[in-house]
Amino acid sequence: MPEGPVTTILRGFKVPVAVIDRFLEANGVDETYGWPTRYDTLDEPSKLLRTQLGGTKTRLFIPHRLGHQLSAFAYVAYDWIFVFAQRKILPEELAPTPPPGFAELCNEIVRGAGEQEREQLRFQSEDLTAMYVINTEDQSYWFQEPYVRKASRHRSGPRAFLPHAC
């Protein structure tokens, strides 16, 4: 994964963190508490989701928020792509329909929802092919101080400030 902000475009199911955490706990996996994970390795919640679908590509995404504000929602995705700075997205890059068993998995997750949460989820569960764009990582850049290059007779002004690597 490159350092810096990473945006993920995904297809899947949006679910409150409290609901997915109940599902994870009921299946013997630690709760997320809304903390996003790094996406360069497969985390335990995602391993559970894949197991539930017989090994099919599936992953749990929790948006990264600035500061220590935790997201109230998570996303169970059946397909996704990462975008670092910019990217042309081709129609065939994201699967248009969920894999077999995905709707059943989402229904199983929703069973752990309370009454208010079920009302929120009813609208969302009708369209499992929804596409979401979320910020999933924000790694800090190492700041490199600019320095003033000794100006010659031919260089002065803003061009005199160049990064160390030049």
Distance set, CA 109 to CA 13, 16, 72, 113 (Å): 10, 10, 16, 8
Tell me which of 158 and 19 has the higher pLDDT.
Answer: 19
pTM value? 0.76
- Residues 20-53 pLDDT 10s: 999 999 999 999 988 887 777 788 999 999 999 9
Residue 5: per-residue pLDDT: 74
Q: Which domain holds residue 125?
A: 5-162
* 70-88 pLDDT, tens digit each: 888 999 999 999 887 788 8
Mean pLDDT of the chain: 79
Q: What domain count does the chain have?
A: 1
Question: 134: closest CA among 14, 22, 27, 42?
Answer: 14
